Amino acid sequence: MELEQENKLQEADILRISKLVAYAIDLKGTAEMEKIIDSKESILDSLAKMLEMMLTADINLTREKKLDVIHLLSKLKANKEHMQLVKGSIADQQQAFSKLYAASEHMFKKSQSAFGGD
């Protein structure tokens, strides 16, 4: 009985979990690498799945609580879309850098051949 009481989730535990989740999905301060964003998107997907389960499970949510869940699902979707845009921007930047690097390599080779003949 004592172990059961010790392991029972309290409201403070749920709040700590919420803070950890918020920290985990925050894009600020990250290197914004695609792999990191993929992990954050996965967390958002898991949260959305949990909220969807709350809507479909028979857990006697009031209409107000269901509307809260729907609102949160909308926010999660918006955050995921933002992450996808950031990820697309990273890919665009990487592609632009690759093109710039290839062009500089080409120019370097041209300059070597131009000066190599002298």
For 41-98, write each residue's pLDDT tens digit.
999 999 999 999 999 987 888 999 999 999 999 999 999 998 888 888 776 766 776 7
The pLDDT, as a whole number, for residue 89 is 79
pTM: 0.66
| Domain membership flag for residue 69 | yes
Residue 40: which domain range?
2-107
Q: Is there a domain that residue 68 lies in?
A: yes
Q: For the chain, how big is the Rg over CA atoms in Å?
A: 24
Residue 37's nearest CA partner among 29, 25, 48, 45 is: 25
- Which pLDDT does position 42 carry in this prediction? 94
Number of domains present in the structure of the chain: 1
Q: How far apart are CA 84 and CA 40, in angstroms?
A: 11
Distance CA 8, CA 52 (A): 24
Tell me, yes or no, whether 112 lies in a domain. no
Which of 15, 39, 9 shows the shortest CA–CA distance to 26?
39
